[in-house]
A and B are shown apart, each in its own frame.
Chain A
């Protein structure tokens, strides 16, 4: 169950590349596990490390102070491709608490919400400003306020954002979504009874 999250203040790292896919966020070598912990080591591993496992100094998350980033400034369609939730787990294990992008791929967006990783959408112009500011003043912090739906850039400029109410509430309260859904048990029982009558072929399967 995700921790409640009200605001995130920290270093923001710029990675303004479009269509960053989940294969890039967490390459497959790091998926060979039945656990969800410790995946930060695999974050962007093919971009962060060379073939001998040495850090590539030109990659943003290998540079000070961005290796301490809590916020990632990303490009459009961030998180496209594979559904692997390991992408979100690895970002969070690395210390990232918020990704700001012009758009997110659908499954990744859902995975963010379910783990309490704030996925904030801002337009290209606002993002370009944020990227320019963090490149000019890398050590200054940025604040993403989920309560007021506002990003405060290191130069003091503020950018309001919109977030679906349910998504925002989930972040603020750290909701146990399964627990909440299970409270609809009566509706579920009624649905199943009705559906068994209407579509018996869905519910009465031949056994394997």
Chain B
């Protein structure tokens, strides 16, 4: 009888190229995604050393971080940006790497397009010079973010040097209540175990509440693995995964598809597989979550009040909370509900897929954005945008007063012109509420697409579940 293995063990064992000693191995990388911010210096390093990019056929590039999201956009974006876009174009061309360029319907946020195009696959290793690469773990891939030196290493060798991470299984139990989203699940998890709660771990998300999620909802959960400090987070593939992938452009087809699915079915953790840590979270009483501070762990239920640092026992935590409240401009004890907001951003690799847009549009239908509030919706990819337009969602957004924009990271990374002005308060469907993340002095409140849409209509943070019973227009 062989030792039961977790899905992480199975993927790891499949990819070991060489043992380097001291616990380190050379691990094969099946898919490498490039973007314009973290690849140019890697390409320069490769060229300076006279090395070639080993597997252009396994490497894919797109521009997303700094691109303009204006309709009718060109390379022209923030100063320095056009040079980065052109460098990516020239580098992809000279190394034979497929590029999903501006104007190509396949362009989009790198973690949105990797699953959408069938580039990310179950059981595969996938890396990208971006911390939210963990998103595609939702397909059952082992996917993690790397720095630029490692990008160069993967370009040259198609491998990464890794030490086997300790493993953690996070089991979501219970049934998610109506009006509560996958985003609320992951925000609650981060609030519960903290942004360093899984530092260095390889995480498997499991349990009935995970199995009940759609493919895109799983991506939202896995996306924020890095906000737990995890190296990666994944979900064992199942019928939901296979149905999502079949027929996608870079997914296997025909006989290969059948063979692949057979192999993928064997990936799930064996009964009795050992994990170094186990966490369980019941979602039965979960409520919509909103962040109050400057760390993703600073989240509370929409019906709760801002916590008081003076009630915190740990002096360091107390100090961090005071600093966060000072930055965000909130007093302890204030209800988070009814907090007036200036902007709403729906987008990012966390929540810019078609289901996210549908959830927001369902709230917005027949309603208007509050007077004086700026609201943006930035689809995650050209394909998401096109699908949304086919469903008429763009008209719901624009009729409500939202800006309907071209795909990119936009106001999540805050690297292009899409910024939250200093001191302004923004409800965002993105993943980081760090100081200055959405622009210097910007105040970010993380939430789900439905909660963000509701905030746009009300001009303040509201419980989206109350919308059916009350007319928002009259209540502000």
Contacts and interface: CB of A to CB of B under 8 A. Distances in A.
B84 A34 contact: yes
Contacts of A106: 199-200, 229, 231
B249 A206 contact: yes
Interface string A99-117: 0000101111011001100
A169 to B, nearest CB: 9
Contacts of A32: 66, 78-81, 84, 415
Interface stretch (B38-46, B280-288, B387-395): B38-46
Given A28-B413, A201-B256, A178 B156 contact: yes
Contact of B440 (A18, A51, A184): A51
A19 interface: yes
A91 B155 CA distance: 25
Contacts of B316: 18, 75
A201 B229 contact: no
A200 B414 contact: no
B153 interface: yes
A195 B87 CA distance: 33
B130 to A, nearest CB: 6
Contacts, number: 185
A182 B252 contact: no
Contact of A27 (B57, B81, B436): B436
A32 B63 CA distance: 13
Interface in A71-86: 75-77, 80-85
Given A80-B229, A83-B146, A205-B57, A166 B24 contact: yes
B107 interface: no
A82 B129 CA distance: 9
B131 interface: yes
Interface residues of A, number: 59
B49 interface: yes
Contacts of A46: 435-436, 440
Interface string B254-290: 0011011001000000000000000000000000000
Contacts of B157: 178, 181-182, 184, 188
B244 interface: no
A83 B145 contact: yes
Contacts of A204: 256
Interface string A5-48: 00000000000011101011001100111111000000000100
Nearest to B316: A18
B50 to A, nearest CB: 11
Contacts of A208: 98, 249-250
B147 A188 contact: no
B415 A201 contact: no
B147 A110 contact: yes
A177 B37 contact: no
B229 A105 contact: yes
A202 B413 contact: no
Contacts of B351: none
Interface in A151-208: 164-166, 177-179, 181-182, 184, 187-188, 191-192, 195, 198-206, 208
B253 A206 contact: yes
Given A28-B413, A187-B18, A34 B121 contact: no
A88 interface: yes
Contacts of B81: 32
B29 to A, nearest CB: 10
Contacts of A188: 17-18, 26, 28, 157-159
Interface in A32-72: 32-36, 46, 51
B51 interface: yes
Contacts of B145: 83, 107
Contacts of A202: 30, 58, 121, 124
Contact of A24 (B78, B229, B260, B436): B436
Given A88-B147, A164-B22, A105 B199 contact: yes
* A23, A34, A35, A205, most chain B CB atoms within 10 A: A34
Interface in B402-451: 413-415, 422, 432, 434-437, 440
A201 B196 CA distance: 36
For chain B, the bracket of interface size reads 35 or more
B435 A84 contact: no
B83 interface: yes
A28 B249 CA distance: 34
B261 to A, nearest CB: 10
B152 interface: yes
Given A27-B440, A36-B41, A46-B440, A77 B229 contact: yes
B26 A181 contact: yes
Interface in B283-319: 295, 316-317
Contact of A83 (B38, B57, B66, B123): B38
A206 B257 CA distance: 12
Contacts of A23: 432, 434-437
Given A110-B147, A206-B249, A165 B22 contact: yes
B148 interface: yes
A203 B40 CA distance: 25
Interface string B195-222: 1100110000000000000000000000
Interface string B1-37: 0000000000000100110111110101010000001
Interface in B113-160: 121, 123-124, 129-131, 145-150, 152-153, 156-159
B320 interface: yes
A43 to B, nearest CB: 14
A31 B41 CA distance: 11
A76 B87 CA distance: 36
Given A81-B226, A82-B131, 4 more contacts: A23-B432, A81-B434, A178-B51, A201-B259
17 contacts: A23-B435, A24-B434, A28-B413, A33-B84, A34-B40, A80-B195, A80-B196, A84-B38, A105-B199, A181-B156, A184-B17, A199-B260, A199-B263, A201-B121, A201-B260, A205-B57, A208-B250
